[in-house]
Structure formats: C-alpha cells, structure tokens
Structure 1
C-alpha cells in the first residue's frame, strides 16, 4: 500500500533469503548422500498413494510452490519493456524453482524419513535440526521470511485483479481507484485484506491452501483456454506475442483431467470449491447486465 518500489525490493530480499536457504539445504543434502547415507532411497515409493486421486492431490499440493511464473502476467502494465522482460521472468520463474525444489526434495528425502516429512512440522526446520545444528534457527527465520514473500507477491497480484474488475465495471468503481500520492491501488488491497481474513477463519491452513490451488489452477485453465477465442477475434499483428497452439491445448487438457480426477476421488474437498468457482459465471453475466450497470452498481458508484 505504501510503495510499489518498496514492495519490489522486499520481494527481492525475500527471494534472496529463500534461495540462500534452499542452497544451504541442497549442499547439506548432497554432502549427506556423499557420505554414503542412501538408505532412505531403498524403497522410496513404499508409502506412496499411487491412486488417481492421490496423484491429483500431489499435483495440487505442488502447484502452490510452482505457479509463481504466472504472477508476472498480472502486473504487465507496470513492467518496463514487457516484450523482453515478461518472457524472461516466465521462463526464469519456471526453471529456477523447478531446479531448486527438486534438488531440495532430494536433500529432504536423503536426511529425513517419509514419516518425518509427513509429521506436520516445517520440513526445512526438521532438516535443519538434523543436519545444521545451531544454524537451524537461521533456516526457521528463512521459512518465515519466505512465507512473508509469498504473501507480498499475492497482495501485488490479486489486488491488480480486483483493480481491473473495478475498471471494467464488473465490481464497484471505487475498487479501481489509486492513491494519487503513492500510486498504489489501496482500496483494492484493503478489500483483499478483509476477504482474506474471512477465508482464513473458514478452515485449517491445509484446506485453505487446497482450495487456493484449485481456484488458481481453474482460473489459469479458463484464461489459457480463452487464448483460442482471442486469436479468432483479434488478428495477429507484429506486436503479438505468439505461442504455438499445441502448448495451451496441452495445458488445458491436462488441468481438466486433473480437476475431474480430484473431484471424483475427493469430492468432499474439491466439489465445494468447484461450486463456489462456478458461481462466478452467473455473477459475471449479472454484472454485465443493464439492470446491474444502471441500477445497483450505479448507486454504489455514485456514493
């Protein structure tokens, strides 16, 4: 709310902190393996739930860690030289976390048993307690800073979504207002703070994260499916950033299969978020109607 530049610097600092912690864990894990400790890899899939539902849940759990690449699209209006910097950020946002998290997971499994990983304690802290001695407290601090970084980037991303909704007339217009001194979308951030506080009171952290991953994946799937409609309606120009149609097609098909599998095998967890998500369809068409635009919305906007 105070400054976009300060928020960007905070994001850089939290990212450096997270990468440093990951590198420490990876190096310690490699040293542990190099000392001949490979017993945890003797039966790696012994307790794995390889049912379709279990695999789908594993993907949704991983999505929370690996979907940072999409955040840059939301802030494209605020990115300098987007035709150069957005693709770099997307590819970097895919490659760096994938490499870092895969190696970190190898390190975790080398040092900890499956039961210890599933115990509910922060895995990085359990790892630090086992391998890093006094420095476990530094890892714990890095975990906290990392969580703050995730919150910081989510505030940036989703406040822009509300902001555009207000600008396009889908939400009340005040949500699209910007503080003229700070040049930040303060009403949108305040609205998001209120909604996030309500959501956090509705369930435990795992259920909230599960629903969040489902919502985010569903929204991305719909948005990427919309590429085909956009290409048909808007002819390609010299400035169009074009991707081969096969990539969005694979993405959409994969996530549809993943969503159907998750709902069929764990309907109690994923059916309520799906119903809640689908409520957006009638609300969208209602918000575009004359009755809403000239009636209740006009009243709210005038006040």
Structure 2
C-alpha cells in the first residue's frame, strides 16, 4: 500500500491493513477533472505570461543591449522564440496527453533519468523561485502606495509576499473552478492596465512625441553574451508559454484547445509586450528608464496623473494573476512526478472532496515561501533562465528524437521539423553564450546542482532504500488523514 490509506465508502467495517479499509459496492474513479475550456486555457497562458516580467524586465533588457532599437527587436524576437517553442510543445502535448509539462515528454523521449533531473531542478529551484519572484513583485507594487517617496520596508514586502503565497495555494487546493475563475478575473484586470499603457503610448506617438525613438540603434557594440542575457530577461517576461501543457489532463478537448490557446495567446502577448515597451520609450529616455525604480509607476505618474494610482493597483492584479497561474500549473508537475514514483507518493494524491492535487500544491507553496527570504531578483532571473533553457532545449530535442524512435505515436499536430531544430539550436546558444563570453561560478554551481539530482535518483528511485520507505510510510498515512486525500487510481464506494 506504500503507506497509503485507500478511502472506501459503503459500510462501517474497518480494515486493519492500512488504517482505513471499508467494503464497497461500486467503484468511482478519482482523477483530475476536465474543467478547463478554450477561454480558460487562453487565460492561463496570457494570465501566466503577463505578470511581473513586463514591469521589471525592460530595465534589464535595455541595460544589456544599450539602445532602444535593439531592445524592441529583442522583445519581438523573444515572442517569436516563445511562439516556436510553444508550437513544439503543442505537438508534444497532443501526442503525449499527460499533465506535467516537460516531465512526461522527457520520460517518453529519454527515459527516467532526464525526467527526474528536470523534476528535481523544477521542484527545488525553477518553479518555487519563479513563484517567489512574482509574489515579491506583487508585494512591492501593492505596498508602494503606502510608502510614497521611498521604498517599502523589506520586512513588509516579504510578509506580504508570503501572505500572497498562502492565499494562492489555499485557493488552488480548494477548487479547480475557483482557481480558474480567479485566473480569468485577474487576466481581465491585467489586460485593462496593458490596454491603458498601450493606448496612452500610441496617443503620445500620434501627437509627435518621437524624440526618444530617434537614432534608436545608436549605441555601444553588443556582445553575444550581452544578447543572451538580454534574451534571458526578455524570456523571463514570456515565461509561461509552456504552462498549458502542465494541465493537459484537465483540458477539455485538448487536441483542439491546446494548439488554439497557444496560437491565440502567445501572439497576443508578443504584440502587447512590444507595444508596451514602445509606450515606455515614448515617455522616458533610455537613461530615465534605467534609473526608474518601477517603470510602470513612472509611466503612470507622467501620463495618468492624477489617476496614476491605477497603475500600481492593476500591476498588483497582474502579478497576483501570474502567481495564481504558476501555482495552478506547477502543482500538476509535482503531482505527475509523485505519480511516477520520482517524489513522495503522497504528492500524487488527490483530495477526496475537492478533486485537486492538494498535497503537491501545498508542498510547492511551502518551498516558495523559503525563496522569499533571500534574493536579488535580476540574478535569480538569470540563473532561473539558464536552468530553464537547458530543459526547454532538451525537451524540444526529445520531439526530434521521437520523430524517429516513436513513429507509432499518433500526432494530431505535426510541426515542420525545422521549427524544433531552430528552437534546439537557439537553446544551445542561450545556455552556452553567457558561460563562454562571461564565465561565472554561479553557472557552474547551477549545473552541479542539476547533476546532484543523480545522487537522489540512485538512492531513492533506482535502489528504493527500505529505510526511506519506512520513514515515508507513516508520513504518508498521517498526511492522508489530515488532508483527506487518496491515490489517483481510484476510490471505491
């Protein structure tokens, strides 16, 4: 039983083998429910992608390329790369219709070791640090109106970020529908501020405010390493283009809705991001943008005064919506890895009453709270992107490999082979360029951390040490009783 409690309904007889075992009359499947439609799918993509990135990354992209023109090109190119990558993931998602994003694709293409290394890195670094960064950004914008003229106290920001994590994990643990409705609401709210910024910028351009765009390509020489770092920061703002693949099992008609949501969502985000940056440069010079503590707030102060208060409010909505979408999808990755035996089994269990992967979501939120304690956001983004693009590239390479090794698989969507080849090559450049042009020890530490997952794989997955099972069995049993969760294969009643 792996220390689990199988919930059964029908009589009051108690079994002694696993804590609770009650005789039953009929069987009822306990699985994640298909409750996410096309509109909700688009909202998951748009709502997760448009978050904190467009409000914190413009400074970092500009700092690396040094001029307005290359900056706008980088933002458009990042959108194109995200679109090509998303098309590859659309084929993967409709070929292997399992939740968990990259995890099941790496499992099918290369076997358990690369899949485990991805889950190890995602669980401990990529997903919770991303959640923490977004919630910290939310806390900064939400607390800014209460501390005019100065930065909010660090303790206030971190406590508010922790509170946001607690609220979001609670909502996602309680109800898929509630989390979806919350995502839809915040997506609409963030589109309001996006439209306000874009329209304001276009009106100013129409009035002839183009002086900041003159000679926009005049700037210092740009190295390949600087371009890669600029892409890292731009792609951070686009991060989320894979998120719908994490909830494939909960998507209605995935063969139709998965590619449609991607084809509508990603281009919409690309247009919005390029126009938002154009609006920023219409109001601010490059120097002013780099010196601004909060680019969107500075824009609002100059253009929307005295209604500039709407900017931090709606930016807070935007970031909390992105955090909700990240939590919604990342919890499914942990759920799938637990189901495959690469994490504690209890993390693959489903709430009996709520039909949500509550243990996985709670685990994810707990790790994210730890990440709000330290943290230089820009540095975190660089190393997050370095690790993320190792696995993005490996996953897309898996698509190419399975075209030859798994020809029997049904592929409702089949992208031209040149697209995954381009994405794989760009991934290699993004990973290697910063190391070659500006080597730093943290890149080595990040690589060593990823490879350290091999130790845990050998000990706990390959050899399955008995003492680890003995420790996990009572933990699993008590968590089942506390959270009222059961294994996903079924409950009888």
Distance in 2, matches of 1:248 and 1:286, equals 34
1:41-60 superposed Cα distances (whole Å, 9 cap, x missing partner): 12324456611111111100
* From 32, 39, 42, the counterpart of 2:214: 42
Q: Identify the structure with the greater helix proportion.
A: 1
Task: Tell me how large the CA RMSD over aligned residues is.
Answer: 2.0
Change (3 A) 1:257 1:241: same
Could you say which residue in structure 1 is the equivalent of 2:284? 112
* Residue aligned with 1:75, SS: helix
Which structure would you say has the larger Rg? 2
Could you say which residue in structure 2 is the equivalent of 1:85? 257
Could you say which residue in structure 2 is the equivalent of 1:256? 428
Task: Kindly indicate whether the alpha-carbon contact (under 8 Å) linking 1:68 and 1:93 is maintained by their aligned counterparts in 2.
Answer: no
Alignment partner of 1:5 is 2:170: no
Distance in 2, matches of 1:247 and 1:287, equals 37
Distance in 2, matches of 1:284 and 1:246, equals 34
Which moves more between the two structures, 220-229 or 231-240? 231-240
Which moves more between the two structures, 234-243 or 102-111? 234-243
Distance in 1, matches of 2:221 and 2:377, equals 22
1:197-216 to structure 2, matched below 5 A, reads 197-216=369-388
Q: How many residues align?
A: 301
Could you say which residue in structure 1 is the equivalent of 2:362? 190
Question: What TM-score, normalized by structure 2, do the two folds share?
Answer: 0.58
Could you say which residue in structure 1 is the equivalent of 2:338? 166
Task: Kindly indicate whether the alpha-carbon contact (under 8 Å) linking 1:60 and 1:213 is maintained by their aligned counterparts in 2.
Answer: yes
Could you say which residue in structure 2 is the equivalent of 1:271? 444
1:54-94 superposed Cα distances (whole Å, 9 cap, x missing partner): 11111000111213221001100000000000001111221
Change (3 A) 1:123 1:47: farther
Task: Kindly indicate whether the alpha-carbon contact (under 8 Å) linking 2:335 and 2:360 is maintained by their aligned counterparts in 1.
Answer: yes
Question: What TM-score, normalized by structure 1, do the two folds share?
Answer: 0.92
Could you say which residue in structure 2 is the equivalent of 1:150? 322
Could you say which residue in structure 1 is the equivalent of 2:349? 177
Deviation at 1:294, TM superposition (A): 4.9
Deviation at 1:96, TM superposition (A): 0.6
Task: Kindly indicate whether the alpha-carbon contact (under 8 Å) linking 2:292 and 2:298 is maintained by their aligned counterparts in 1.
Answer: no
* Residue aligned with 1:274, SS: helix
Deviation at 1:131, TM superposition (A): 0.6
Task: Kindly indicate whether the alpha-carbon contact (under 8 Å) linking 1:49 and 1:55 is maintained by their aligned counterparts in 2.
Answer: no
* From 391, 396, 400, the counterpart of 1:228: 400
